[in-house]
Structure 1
Amino acid sequence: MGTYAAVVLAGGAARRMGGVDKPALPVGGRPMRDRVLAAVSDATPRVLVGAADAVPAGVRVVREDPPGGGPVAAAAAGLALLDPDVTVVALLAADLPLLTRTAIGDLLKHLDLEAPDTEPAGGGSAPALPAHGGSAPALPAHGGSAPAAPAYSGVASAPPAHSGVAPPVYSGLGGAERGPDGACFVDGDGRRQSLCGVWRVAALRAALDRLRVERGGSLSGAPVRALLAGLVVREMAWSGEGPPPWFDCDTDEDVRRAEEWAR
């Protein structure tokens, strides 16, 4: 599967929860950020972006500039601590208490660590995507039914890991064929969970450079969708057992629901 790094973003303001240190809230007896870090225990290095009183051994800690500058500024701070030879990074919110190593492994397989960043041009249009196999996972209370696979547009759903179907080559901007820049989960309503994904470091750094130019040098307050605009993303519905690994805790009710799942 190859090696990868992990950057966990823990600097949010948690306004909907009264400004508490949300990643430090326990789920199943462990702080949410520790559960996320455990899901990427095989990553090298692991970087936590945000304030933390204590972290597991070996985890690098950094703050975004400025503090509270948002997830894009935090991603930039985390990427700056990666070793030069790191090519793939898991970019994760710190409030994903149901994330597992199995889920991360599925994302890495769909990114295909052995494939080059750019595939040789083969001509013609991208192949049709296979139908999704397997049963749908249980959805949180605010989720809906699973959507149909989106039409191919440079951002497409991948076949599930158990499908046995070779992943298609995706067409990026300008029609050039290349492998995906990243892979992330989508929820039951088809919403992309961008901070529950794995990405090619070179693609993220190029996107950060572009965004800095567009925003006059500052990444503070930039939305994640602006960072990922133009990247080729392989979207994945969770087809494994157990609760959805992308489930994030934005409210007290979300934390209670995650606690029930974690029992």
Structure 2
Amino acid sequence: MGAYAAVVLAGGAARRMGGRDKPTLPVGGVPMRERVLAEVADASPRILVGAGPAPAGVRLTREVPPGGGPVAAIAAGLAMVDADVPAVALLAGDLPLLTRSAVGELLRRLDDSPVDELLCGLDDPPADVLLRQLDDSPADVCDPVDGVCFVDGAGRRQTLCGVWRPVALRTALHRLAAGRGGGLAGASLRELLAGLVVREVTWSGGGPPPWFDCDTERDVRRAEEWLR
């Protein structure tokens, strides 16, 4: 896949860091949110959701109300993405170890066909193997996925290090807002993504995990060590 947008969420309260504007904290001399934006330099548009100012070439918006949480921030960012954009990377603003190759892996996996997914790791499978794989798979295996995200070593989804189909996210946002009386403030990512078909991706590249986020000063120091 070529074209995609990127929405970087940078409006969290960072309570474990004394309420500081966490994504602006430097790691390796560069603010974390700017590191994230640099790794999606080929996205169009790039959208920063949070307090400004935004770097040159990056659109700025804010969730309603400010501090309303990640789902409200996703809604604000997605509102700035054109309807014909086929994919959007949703990324936390505190991922200093994110790489362009990791984003590229997610984009490729979003476009994998169901058969590609089933036969991953099989070399030139004969037709009978393909038929058995399809017969033994869940009934919905041929449904296209709505998004892909990395999973960590414990099997936890890193949903803010993922790539999603905008139409699926918009549908989910409308459903969730309707169920909450029109508001999205305080809604959880789990609520938003419930019912979506999500492909989980294990990071197999070199280097540290691209989903590593910095919630504490200790996390920042660890990221600094990885980047040396």
After TM superposition, give the deviation of residue 171 of structure 1 in Å: 5.8
Paired letter, 1:44: S
Residue of structure 2 in register with 1:17 after alignment: 17
Residue of structure 2 in register with 1:76 after alignment: 75
Report if the CA contact (8 A) 1:62-1:77 is conserved.
yes
Paired letter, 1:65: V
Instruction: Name the structure with the higher helix share.
Output: 2
Residue 73 of structure 2 aligns to a residue in which SS? helix
Cα distance in structure 2, aligned partners of 1:171 and 1:222: 30
Cα distance in structure 1, aligned partners of 2:219 and 2:147: 27
Residue of structure 1 in register with 2:129 after alignment: none
Residue of structure 1 in register with 2:51 after alignment: 51
Residue of structure 2 in register with 1:37 after alignment: 37
Cα distance in structure 2, aligned partners of 1:73 and 1:51: 14
Q: TM-score, normalised by structure 1?
A: 0.77
Residue 236 of structure 1 aligns to a residue in which SS? strand
**Structure 2 unaligned spans of 5+:** 126-132
**Structure 1 unaligned spans of 5+:** 120-125, 131-158
Asked if residue 224 in structure 1 is aligned to residue 189 in structure 2, the reply is yes
The two structures, once aligned, show a CA RMSD in angstroms of 2.5
- What number of residue pairs does the alignment pair up? 219
Query: Structure 2 residue aligned with 1:179, among 144, 150, 155?
Result: 144
Task: Give the direction of change, closer, same or farther, for the CA distance of 1:127–1:41 in structure 2 (3 Å limit).
Answer: closer
Runs of 4+, deviation exceeding 4 Å = 126-130, 163-166, 168-172
Asked if residue 4 in structure 1 is aligned to residue 4 in structure 2, the reply is yes
Residue 35 of structure 1 aligns to a residue in which SS? helix
Query: Structure 2 residue aligned with 1:238, among 203, 210, 217?
Result: 203
Report if the CA contact (8 A) 1:5-1:86 is conserved.
yes
Q: TM-score, normalised by structure 2?
A: 0.89
1:182-210 superposed Cα distances (whole Å, 9 cap, x missing partner): 00001111110000000000000000000
Paired letter, 1:235: E
Percent identical residues: 67
Cα distance in structure 2, aligned partners of 1:164 and 1:248: 36
Report if the CA contact (8 A) 1:171-1:178 is conserved.
no
After TM superposition, give the deviation of residue 56 of structure 1 in Å: 2.4
1:161-185 superposed Cα distances (whole Å, 9 cap, x missing partner): xx7799x99868xx48311100000
Cα distance in structure 1, aligned partners of 2:51 and 2:197: 32
1:200-242 superposed Cα distances (whole Å, 9 cap, x missing partner): 0000000000000111111000000110000111101110000
